[in-house]
Amino acid sequence: MNPVVHFEIPAKNMKRAKGFYETMFGWKIQAYADDYFMATTTPLDKNGRPKKPGAINGGLQRKDRSISSPRVVVSVPNLNRALKQAVARGGKVMQPKTEIPDMLWYAVILDTEGNELGLAEIMCSE
């Protein structure tokens, strides 16, 4: 079973979105890049993973052609294989495999119902 490990919320105004989610839910929002903020929704362990099983963190991403609605990110053991399976089952690759340095490999697919899903192959932290 492949778990949901992250979420992404698009935002036109990053500062405004940051303020909303921090005050609305008490999330800790920190800039990761100009167009991407990390959203900590649950305490982390020493490896930067959620302490509570099943809990996830996410991010705010500048709203543009690459993301227009909230997206869940699913962990897969082999991203290349998952992309091939998605296409074979009628899905479409929207964003090809991309490295997020020292963290994970990431891609975006469109499922058969028109929903965007992120796929992540997490790099070993050894």
Say yes or no: 46 and 92 in one domain: no
pLDDT value for 125: 55
Helices (H) and strands (E) in the chain, counts: 2, 8
The CA distance from 108 to 66, in Å, is 9
Residue of 42, 54, 36, 13 lying closest to 103 (CA atoms) = 36
pLDDT value for 78: 96
26 close to 18: Cβ distance less than 8 angstroms = no
User: pLDDT tens digits for 95-121?
Assistant: 999 999 988 999 999 999 899 999 999
Domains identified in the chain, total number: 2
119 close to 79: Cβ distance less than 8 angstroms = yes
Say yes or no: 82 and 120 in one domain: yes
Say yes or no: 86 and 41 in one domain: no
pLDDT value for 58: 96
pLDDT value for 24: 93
Q: Residue 49 belongs to what domain range? A: 1-66
Q: What is the CATH number of the domain that holds 16?
A: 3.10.180.10
Mean pLDDT, residues 41-55? 90
Say yes or no: 36 and 89 in one domain: no
Say yes or no: 27 and 56 in one domain: yes
Say yes or no: 80 and 62 in one domain: no
69 close to 116: Cβ distance less than 8 angstroms = yes
Mean pLDDT, residues 66-88? 95
